[in-house]
Amino acid sequence: MSGSTDRPPVRVVLAKLGLDGHDRGLKVVARMLRDGGMEVVYLGLRQTTDTIIDAVEQEDADVVGISMLNAGHLTLGPRMVEALADAGLDVPVVIGGIVPDEDLPAMANAGVAGVLGPGATAEEVVACVRAAADARG
Amino acid sequence: MAATRGGERWATARLLSLVERGGPLADEVAERTWALLHGDATVDAISGRRANRAHVVGVTGPPGAGKSTLVAVWTTRLVERGHRPAVLAVDPSSPLTGGAILGDRVRMAEATAAGVFIRSMATRGHAGGLALAVPGMVRVLELAGFDPVVVETVGVGQVEVDVASAADTVLVVVTPGMGDAVQANKAGLLEVADLFAVNKSDRPDAAGVRRDLELMLDLSDLTGHGRRRHDTRTDGWSRPAVVSTVATTGAGVDELADATDAHLAGLAAVGTLVARREDRWRAEVRSHVDHLLLETSRGVVSGLSVGTGAPAAVARELAAGLVGGAEGDR
Amino acid sequence: MDSLSSPASRFRTLSGIPVDAVYGDGPAPGEFPYTRGVHAEMYRTRPWTMRMFAGFGTATDTNARFGELLAAGGTGLSTAFDMPTLMGRDSDHDWALGEVGRAGVAVDTVEDMADLFAGIDLGAVSTSMTINGPAPILLAMYVVVAEEGGVDRERLAGTLQNDILKEYQAQKEYLFPPRPSVRLVTDVIGFTTAEMPRWNPVSISGYHIREAGSTAVQELAFTLANGFAYVEAAVAAGLHVDDFAPRLSFFFNSHSDLFEEVGKFRAARRIWARWMRDRYGATDERSLKLRFHTQTAGVSLTAQQPEVNIARVALQALAGVLGGTQSLHTDSFDEALALPSEDAARIALRTQQVIAHETGVTNVVDPLGGSAYVEWMTDEMERQATEVFDHLEQLGDGSLLEGVYAGIDDGWFVGEIADASYRHEREVNAGERIVVGVNEFTEGDDPSARRLLRIGQETEELQRKRLATVRQGRDAAAVASTLARVAVDAAESTTNLMPALLEAVRARATVGEVVDALEGVFGTYVERAVV
C-alpha cells in the first residue's frame, strides 16, 4: 500500500455535552489539534454519550475530547468514561471546561485521562491529547 | 476479520484503520478481504453481482452543495427501505500540518441514529495513498455486509473526483447559485456523472442551474463525452438523469433513491456492470503498480552517483530493470 | 476662581469647574445622523438604566427575587430562562436532564409564567425577556397571564430579545430553519405593532456574536445587517417602516479596547440613521435613532486571578457610557468560573454607580467627540462595516435579507467568526497579545480559591411535578385542537401565528408541545460544520 511506516495521525472525536450553544472553545481546540497534526472528527453541539460512542466506535478514535460549560464535569465526565467501558471501547477521555483543582483527583479516579481548563495553550492542548493517546498504546 | 463479517462495528472500524494506514499489514488485510469476498480470486469472480458485493456509489460535487446532508437523508431513507448503508466521507488534510478537521458527522446525525455506518477519512497528504486506500476500505465495508457503500468526496481535486468515480454509480451534487453547473463542468464532474442531484432546489434560481446542466449535457452528447444511462423503459440509452432535491426537507429523496437503484439495475441489465467493475479492478491494479514503481524508483535514484550520463538515458536503462524487479517482488 | 463663580451650569468637575453640555462643531447630539448620541442632553437629564439580569430555579424562586427588586425601587424586570426553555423543550424532556432551572428560570406552561409574575402589576412594570427561538410562545404566555389578571395587552411594556438571525451566526439556540424563524419574528413585530404599542418586539443583538469570538467590526456589521434584514422582512410582510422601526432596539458588547468600542457605538448610530432614511425611506425621527443596551464582555473575563476582572469590567462599562448606551449590564468578576455570586453581582452594580456618580463622564455629552483618533476610528468602523454590507448585498442579489440567509446557509458568518476567534487565540498563545494574569503577570493566582458551583436536583424534581400537575388538570381535547390550529396556521405563511399561539398557551399547551407542532411544519435546522 502506501508503504509508509510512520505513525498515523492521532484521531480525536470532539464533542460538546449540554444544551447551550457555546462552541467557541470547542472550535478553537479543534483547530489547535488540527494544527498539531491530528485528525479531528468534529461532532459539535448537543451530543449525548450515545452519539459520542457511535462516533468513537465507527471512527476508531484514539481519544475522546468533550467540552462542557458549567459544573457538569463531576457527573458527565465519569458517565462518559463508564459508557465507553460499557460499550467495550478502551478509549481515553479528555475534558475541557472549568474544573476546580480540588476535583482533579476525583476526575482521575473516575478514569478521566486529562483535564484542560480555560487558558490552556495550544501546546498544552496537543500535549495532553497526545499523552492520552500514547498511554492507550 | 471474522468479527467484521459478523457485523461487529468496532472490528470493521479497526480494519478500516489498518487499510487506511498502508504498509505490509494493510496489504495483508486487503488480500485476505479480497479472498473472503471472492473465494478463488479470479477476474471472473468480480463480474457477477454476488450476494456479498455491494452497490458502490460515489458522491461528489462542489464544496457547499449539501452533499453530506443529502447523503444523510438519502441513506436514512435506504435504512427505512431495509438496506444497510455505509458512508466513507473523505475530507482534505491540511497540507501544512497533516492534521484535519472532519466535520461530516455534524450533518449526518440523523443517519447515525438510523444505524448508518459513517467513517470520516482525511486525505493524509499524499494523494496516491487515497487512491490506494479507498478501494480497500470499500471492500472491508462490503465484507461487513454493508450495501450500498457510499464514497463521498469534495469534487475539487482530480484525485478526489477520481476516488468518487471509482464506483458503480456516480452521483454529482450541484446547487443553485454561484454558477455550480459551470464549476462542475470545469472540475470535470460532468464527464463522470451517472446521475445529478440539483440540491437546495427550493432556491429561486434552481430552474437556472437545471437549465445550465441540461445545456451542458446536450453539448457533451454532441461531442460524445459523458456517461450514458441505460433507460429500462425504452431499452435505449439516454443521458444522466437529473433529480431535484431539498436535503433539508427530504423533498426528492425518494426519487433519488429510485434513480440510484434504477441506474444499477440498468447497468446490470445490459452487462455494463461487469465491464465497469473490470475497469475499476484494472485501475486499482494500475494505482498499485504506479505506487510500487514510484517507491522503488525513489530508492534507486537516491543511490545513484551523479554525472554518469544524460538523465533521460540513465532513466531508460533503470526503468527496464525496475519493471523486472517489481514483477519479481510479487 | 473665575470658573467657580459661574452659576450658569449645574454641571461642574470634581474641582468645581463648570462644564457645558457639549463641545465641538458639526452635527450635535440629538441631530441626524446621531453619531454623537440620540439625545441632546444624554446622561445630564437621565442616567442610563442599570439593568441587571435575574432568573434561576423555579418561577416561584425568581418571583421572590423580582419582589425584592421592585421593593428596592426598580421598575424594570429582566428575565433569564433556563436552557431547556431557551431550546423550546419541556422540563421533562430528555435534553433537560440536569439543566432545569440552572442558568435561568424554567417555564413550561402559562402557569409557570403566572407564578413568575404573581403579585406584580404588569401594567406598571417593564419586562425584558431574553429568549429567541420560542420567543413568540413566551410572549403569548406573558399576554395571557396579564389578561387573566385583568391587564390589557396594550398596557404591557417590555422587550423581547427575539433576534433569531444571530442564533445561526453565533449563539446557536435555533429551533427551526432560518426562513420560518424570521417569519415568526415578523409575526411578533406585526402583532405588537398592531396591539402592543409599548412593546419592543426585537432586540437586535451583537453581544453574542462578539462572545463567539468575532472582532468589533464583525459585531457591528453583522448586527446591523441583521437589523436591516428584519426591516426588509417586516416590510415584505406588509408593514410600514415607520410603524415598527421606532420599536427596534439593539444590544451590543463592550470589550476592552476602549477607543475601538467607542468608535463602534458611534458608527452604529450613524450607519443605522443613514440606511434607515436613505435606503428604507423612514421619515419618523424615532425610526432613525439607534438605541442600545450594553453588556460588558463575558468572554474577556479570566478564570485566573478573577479579581482582576473587576478592573476589566469597569473599563468596558466606561466604554459603553462614553459610547452613549441607553442601558448597561456589568458582568460579575466570578462569571468565568460559575454563575455570579451575590457579592460579585453587587460589586458589578457598584461599578456602574461609580462611573455615574464619581467620574464626571456624564456631565458632557459624547465627551470623546472631536478627538482626531476617535473620529477616525468611527469612520474606519463604518468603512469596514460597509465592506461587509457590500459582500452580503452581493450574496443576496441586492437584498440584505437574502444575503444574510445565504451567509448563514454557506457558513460564512460562522467561518468568519471562527477565524477571528482562532487568530486571537494564537496571538495570546504566542505572547503577541498580553492577557494579564493569563500569559503575563501570572504570579499571585490561587487556583484553590476558585469557588465551586454545586447545583442541587431539587429544582428539577419540583418543576417536573409542577408540569405533570398542569398536564393532568387541563382539557386534553382543547390542547390538541389548539395545537392543530398552530400547525395549520404555520403552514400558511401569510397568516400571523400569534392568535393561534395565544389560544394554545391559554389552553395550557406547553412550550415543548407548541414547538413540536411548529417543528412538524417548519422542520429543524442543522448547521454546516464550519470549524
> Which whole number is the average pLDDT over B115-144?
89
With cell 393561534, the residue in question is: C500
- Confidence at residue C526, expressed as pLDDT on a 0 to 100 scale: 84
pLDDT bucket at B46, cuts 50 / 70 / 90 = very low
Question: DSSP string spanning C16-39?
Answer: --B--S--SSSSPTTSTT-TT-SS
| Whether residue B225 is found in the same domain as residue B292 | no
Q: What does the mean pLDDT of chain B come to? A: 83
| Whether residue B200 is found in the same domain as residue B251 | yes
pLDDT for residue B232 is more than 50: no
- Find chains touching chain B: ≥3 CB pairs under 8 Å: A, C
Nearest CB among C523, C529, C531 relative to B248 is that of C523
Contact (CB, 8 A) for A17 and A48: yes
How much of chain C exceeds pLDDT 70, in percent? 95
pLDDT for residue B225 is more than 70: no
For the ranges A110-119, B231-240, C405-414, the lowest mean pLDDT is seen at B231-240
pLDDT bucket at B300, cuts 50 / 70 / 90 = confident
User: Do the domain assignments include residue B32?
Assistant: no
- Confidence at residue C456, expressed as pLDDT on a 0 to 100 scale: 64
Strands B100-102 and A39-47: parallel
Query: Does residue C1 belong to the interface with chain B, where contact is any CB pair within 8 Å?
Result: no
> Which whole number is the average pLDDT over B154-171?
87
With cell 440536569, the residue in question is: C98
More confident residue, B180 or A16: A16
pLDDT bucket at C449, cuts 50 / 70 / 90 = low
For the ranges A108-117, B131-140, B273-282, C256-265, the lowest mean pLDDT is seen at B273-282
- Confidence at residue B13, expressed as pLDDT on a 0 to 100 scale: 96
| Whether residue B245 is found in the same domain as residue B209 | yes
Q: Could you tell me if residue B240 is left (phi over 0), alpha (psi between -120 and 50 degrees) or otherwise beta?
A: beta
> Which whole number is the average pLDDT over C340-354?
88
| Whether residue B261 is found in the same domain as residue B137 | yes
> Which whole number is the average pLDDT over C305-324?
97
> Which whole number is the average pLDDT over B129-137?
89
- Confidence at residue B165, expressed as pLDDT on a 0 to 100 scale: 86
- Confidence at residue C322, expressed as pLDDT on a 0 to 100 scale: 98
Domain boundaries, chain A: 11-136
| Whether residue B309 is found in the same domain as residue B234 | no
The verdict on ipTM greater than 0.90 is yes
User: Do the domain assignments include residue B14?
Assistant: no
More confident residue, C8 or B114: B114
Give the integer Cα–Cα distance in Å for B142 and B39. Answer: 14
Q: For C139-163, write each residue's pLDDT tens digit.
A: 999 999 999 999 999 999 999 999 9
The superfamily CATH assigns to domain A11-136 is Cobalamin-binding domain (3.40.50.280)
- Confidence at residue C235, expressed as pLDDT on a 0 to 100 scale: 98
User: Do the domain assignments include residue B9?
Assistant: no
Secondary structure string (H, E, C) spanning C188-255: HHHHHHHHCCCEECCEEECHHHHHCCCCHHHHHHHHHHHHHHHHHHHHHCCCCHHHHHHHCEEEEEEC
Question: DSSP string spanning B277-292?
Answer: HHHHHHHHHHHHHHHH
> Which whole number is the average pLDDT over A72-97?
91
- Confidence at residue B126, expressed as pLDDT on a 0 to 100 scale: 63
By a Cβ cutoff of 8 Å, what residues of chain C touch chain A? Answer: 83-84, 86-87, 89, 95-96, 98-99, 102-103, 167, 171-173, 211-213, 299, 302-304, 336-339, 418, 421-422, 425-426, 429, 435, 438-439, 447-448, 450, 452-455, 527, 529, 531
User: Do the domain assignments include residue B3?
Assistant: no
User: Do the domain assignments include residue B19?
Assistant: no
- Confidence at residue C54, expressed as pLDDT on a 0 to 100 scale: 67
- Confidence at residue A69, expressed as pLDDT on a 0 to 100 scale: 73
Query: Does residue A43 belong to the interface with chain B, where contact is any CB pair within 8 Å?
Result: yes
> Which whole number is the average pLDDT over B102-111?
92
| Whether residue B224 is found in the same domain as residue B325 | no
Which range in A65-69, B123-127, C242-246 is most confidently predicted, on average pLDDT?
A: C242-246
> Which whole number is the average pLDDT over C490-513?
97
Q: Which domain holds residue B314?
A: 285-329
pLDDT for residue C198 is more than 80: yes
The superfamily CATH assigns to domain C122-364+375-449 is Methylmalonyl-CoA mutase (3.20.20.240)
Could you say which residues from 24 to 43 on chain B have a Cβ atom under 8 Å away from some Cβ of chain A?
26-27, 30
Helix, strand or coil, per DSSP, at residue C398:
coil
- The closest alpha carbon to C221, from C256, C183, C169, C176, belongs to C169
What letters, b where the CB count within 10 A reaches 16 and e where it falls short, cover C324-334? Answer: bbbbbbbbbbb
How much of chain C exceeds pLDDT 90, in percent? 81
Give the integer Cα–Cα distance in Å for B181 and B188. Answer: 11
Tell me if C531 and A30 make a contact (CB, 8 A cut-off).
yes
Mutate to test the interface with B, among A6, A39, A52, A136 (most CBs of B within 10 A): A39
Secondary structure string (H, E, C) spanning C160-190: ECCCCHHHHHHHCCCCCCHHHHHHHHHHHHH
User: Do the domain assignments include residue B280?
Assistant: no
For the ranges A67-71, C266-270, C482-486, the lowest mean pLDDT is seen at A67-71
Domain boundaries, chain C: 122-364+375-449
Cα B214 to Cα B218, B244, B256, distances in angstroms: 6, 13, 17
More confident residue, B200 or B118: B118
Contact (CB, 8 A) for A69 and A18: yes
pLDDT for residue B48 is more than 60: no
User: Do the domain assignments include residue B202?
Assistant: yes
User: Do the domain assignments include residue B173?
Assistant: yes
| Whether residue B116 is found in the same domain as residue B244 | yes
pLDDT bucket at B45, cuts 50 / 70 / 90 = very low
Query: C176: nearest CA in chain B?
Result: B248
Nearest CB among B19, B22, B117 relative to A4 is that of B22
- Confidence at residue C3, expressed as pLDDT on a 0 to 100 scale: 43
Nearest CB among A33, A35, A60 relative to B17 is that of A60
For the ranges B42-51, B206-215, C511-520, the lowest mean pLDDT is seen at B42-51
With cell 468526496, the residue in question is: B153
pLDDT for residue B47 is more than 60: no
pLDDT for residue C341 is more than 80: no
